[in-house]
Amino acid sequence: MTCIVGLEHDGRVIIGGDSAGVAGYSITVRADTKVFRNGEFIMGFTSSFRMGQLLRYSLIPPAPQTWDVDRFMATDFISAVRDCLREGGYTRTESGSEAGGVFLAGIRGRLYRIDSDFQIGRSIDLYDAVGCGEEFALGSLHGSGHLSPEDRVQLALEAAAHHSSAVCPPFHVVSAPGPD
């Protein structure tokens, strides 16, 4: 399980994640991080380390060729993600529907949540979280608007680790600037 948190602030995106690798009642503190850069993107994943490895090392994300970043994310970016996960043997097909995993992606100052059905979403709150520590992190993010963005991400991860046995430090944080 996991906790990945992200937020938009002053034209940039910050994403942080924990280090827990959980299987049943066993937990391993992983050396490979759940947050990373891939080209112009920063990402943080839950669901599976295999999915994260594919997003990090196999995905060649296209660059937006339009001012409409939401449209780009829902079309070109998601098509590249689906192809990458399918070719990597990660996606599942049930009743004719393809499913992947859940992750956050930041690009050009915007934070997106990608769900297992490949929909994209942006929160009006300008922050989001995924994983088993999601609710704890969202509560922390809601109440910490007076802090710096990095401190908000750190505090949200600490809250998730305090309340969930499947979230643990060390925490890793990456940030990306917005559009030029």
pLDDT in tens, 137-149: 999 999 999 999 9
Tell me what the pLDDT averaged over the chain comes to: 95
Residue type, 48: S
Answer yes or no: is pLDDT of 86 > 90. Answer: yes
Which percentage of the chain shows pLDDT scores above 70? Answer: 98
The whole-number pLDDT of residue 28 equals: 94
The whole-number pLDDT of residue 68 equals: 94
Which percentage of the chain shows pLDDT scores above 90? Answer: 88
The whole-number pLDDT of residue 177 equals: 79
- Domains along the sequence of the chain with CATH: 4-176 (3.60.20.10)
User: Which has the higher per-residue pLDDT, 97 or 115?
Assistant: 115
Answer yes or no: is pLDDT of 83 > 90. Answer: yes
- Rounded CA separation 43/80 (Å): 15
Give the pLDDT band (50/70/90) at residue 96.
confident
Q: What is the phi/psi pair of residue 170, to 5°?
A: -75, 155
Contact in structure between 75 and 82 (CB atoms under 8 Å):
no
The whole-number pLDDT of residue 180 equals: 60
For the residues 111-124, what does the mean pLDDT come to?
A: 97
The whole-number pLDDT of residue 65 equals: 85
> How far is CA 118 from each of CA 4, 104, 115, 170, rounded to the nearest angstrom?
18, 12, 5, 29
Q: What pLDDT, in 10s, does the model give residues 21-64?
A: 998 889 999 999 999 999 999 999 998 999 999 999 999 999 99
